[in-house]
Structure 1
């Protein structure tokens, strides 16, 4: 069973979208957009779902918290930081794109990293693309293709690691990529996110992204 004791959940219903607290998740929260009672984490997000403030796409997505449910934000030099996941992307919208993991920045609209699955109907498979912002002030991110030919509906693993020295390591579907980020991130509070953040907002309510996690955990190993 995946431990939900350090997460809250955003689901694309209501205005603003509902946030499900850590204690409520631990009590077995479930609806059409999320459930965990089968031992895996099921996420569904339609392209018609409601959106968080300043976002243009809807999401069913977990956000890192403390064990008491308060928001957890960390500075990367203070620990060796890991997000580990095994999952399958089961359904994609017509854009083919869904974000499945992030390092986000507190009180910012610009994440450090988005890990995105990009499906291509011509190959009946997808690519895993890391979108990295080297500096907090960068207006756009650099896209790095990590792996290709990742089938829809098949499990794969990713590990996102940001070291105390500022090296970003992303391993996905057996491929690995590393890069040094700018030291200007040192003072920015960061946090992990995981789930289904669909990169599409056109179509009907049956169109969207479905993602199923069979493993998900966070580690902050003090140096």
Structure 2
């Protein structure tokens, strides 16, 4: 949580040290961070879908932190379980997004009983699935997404792993990590939505060149 001092929930942006409503983001008795987003929650930006989602910042601040692919080794890893999904069956739990890009470079998605790690090879390209594993609601899984100093992406999903080069067309779009519950659905009762529990979340950024 210390690396996500900018959190969007119910169409509003909460900047560190502001606290979100406890029914949207809370830490339970086990120390696990819970993200809840109703399909009827407010939206933000150009998205038609709601989210309760953190955006990478400098640790313990509200200052946005962005990094260029190839600048250093940057990784985000999580131990997660999805407790509830909207009727569309789709909730995004992690991203590598890009400043001024219309779409993210990478998404970690729970989708109809599977976890998928999907990427776009070029900024306006279609997504392709890098990793996919069956995952029922409530089951814990681990993932790690990393871009290194050679602009090489490495992704792991439990015992699965894959890698791919980051196309140079992404080089003008600084990257940043996001994590939470971004539901790809905006219809239904307010009790319908995405409930994502991060049992652990770690962001590591290598030393940037002077």
Give the TM-score taking structure 1 as reference length.
Answer: 0.86
Any residues of structure 2 matched to 1:204-215 within 5 Å, and which?
Answer: 204-215=189-200
Q: Distance in 1 between matches of 2:172 and 2:101?
A: 13
Q: 1: CA distance between counterparts of 2:200 and 2:151?
A: 26
Query: Secondary structure at 2:169's aligned position in 1?
Result: helix
1:109 maps to which residue? 102
Q: Which residue of 2 aligns with 1:62?
A: 54
**Unpaired segments of 5 or more residues in structure 1?**
120-125
Name the structure 1 match of 2:119. 132
Q: Distance in 1 between matches of 2:182 and 2:159?
A: 23
Question: Is the 1:47–1:200 contact (alpha carbons within 8 Å) kept by the matching residues of 2?
Answer: yes
Which runs of no fewer than 5 residues in structure 2 stay unpaired? none
Provide TM-score, normalisation by structure 2: 0.91
Distance in 2 between residues matched to 1:148 and 1:6, nearest whole Å: 27
**Aligned partners of 1:5 and 1:177: how far apart in 2?**
25
The separation in 1 between residues aligned to 2:72 and 2:4, in whole angstroms, is 17
Are positions 1:165 and 2:146 aligned together? no
Choose 29-38 or 148-157, whichever is displaced more: 29-38
Do the aligned partners of 2:37 and 2:52 also contact (CA within 8 Å) in 1?
yes
Deviations 1:13-39 (A, max 9, x none): xxxx111112225xxx44211112531
Q: CA deviation at 1:186?
A: 2.0
Contact 2:28 2:34 in 1 (8 A): no
Q: Which residue of the partner structure matches residue 49 of structure 1? A: 41
Shift in CA distance, 6/117, structure 1 to aligned 2, threshold 3 Å? closer
1:133 CA displacement: 1.0
Q: CA deviation at 1:165?
A: 1.3
- SS of equivalent to 1:188: coil
Match of 1:186 among 171, 189, 197: 171
2:16 is aligned to 22
- Assess if the C-alpha contact under 8 Å between 2:155 and 2:163 holds in 1: yes
1:57–1:129 CA distance, 2 compared to 1 (3 A): same
Within-5 A mapping of 1:78-117: 78-117=71-110
